[in-house]
Copies of this chain bind each other. A is one copy, B any other.
Amino acid sequence: MAPRNPVNHACPIRDVLDRVGDAWSVLVLSELAKGPCRFNALLRVVNGISQRMLSVTLRTLERDGMVSRRVLPLAPPQVEYALTDLGQSLFASLSALKDWATAHQPSVRAARSSYDARMAQPSAAA
C-alpha cells in the first residue's frame, strides 16, 4: 500500500494518503465508525470488497493502530473489529476533506465537462 516508489520523502501527507488512498480503507473505516463489526458483517456491508481485500485492509489498519481486533472465545469463533481512538481521530480529519469534496463537487464536475468539451473540438483557437 505504501511503497509505490522509492521516493517517499518523509512527507506526512504522502504517508497518510498511502494509508488512506486505496479503494477500501476509507470504506472500512467509515463502516467501523458506526460501531464495532465482525468480519463477515463487514464483508456484506462494504459492498464489492472481496474477502481477500477485506482481510488485507483490516490487517493494515490494525497494524497502523487504527483498528482493534478482539477475538471472542466462542464456539463459532467471532472476531470483532472496532476503531481505536487513533482511527477515530483519523476519520474525523478525513471529514474536512469530505466537506471540501461535498462543497466543490459541482465545480469539479463543471471543470471536467468544460475540459472535455474543449478537447472534443479541435478548432479551439479562433
Pair B26/A98 contact, Cβ less than 8 Å: no
Given A47-B7, A63-B112, A64-B112, A13 and B97 contact (CB-CB distance below 8 Å): yes
Could you tell me the distance in whole angstroms from the C-beta of A21 to the nearest C-beta in chain B? 3
Interface size grouping (class) on chain A? 35 or more
Which one of A36-44, A75-83, A99-107 is at the interface? A99-107
Q: Whole-angstrom distance between the alpha carbons of A12 and B26 in the complex?
A: 11
Pair A108/B65 contact, Cβ less than 8 Å: yes
Pair B48/A116 contact, Cβ less than 8 Å: no
Q: Does A45 sit at the interface, judged by CB under 8 A?
A: no
Instruction: Kindly list chain B residues whose C-beta atoms are within 8 Å of the C-beta of A96.
Output: 93, 96-97
Pair B93/A12 contact, Cβ less than 8 Å: no
Instruction: Kindly list chain B residues whose C-beta atoms are within 8 Å of the C-beta of A27.
Output: 11, 14
Which residue of chain B is the closest to A119 with respect to CB atoms? B63
Q: Does A56 sit at the interface, judged by CB under 8 A?
A: no
Pair B5/A23 contact, Cβ less than 8 Å: yes
Q: Whole-angstrom distance between the alpha carbons of A89 and B107 in the complex?
A: 12
Pair B23/A20 contact, Cβ less than 8 Å: no
Q: Whole-angstrom distance between the alpha carbons of A100 and B111 in the complex?
A: 30
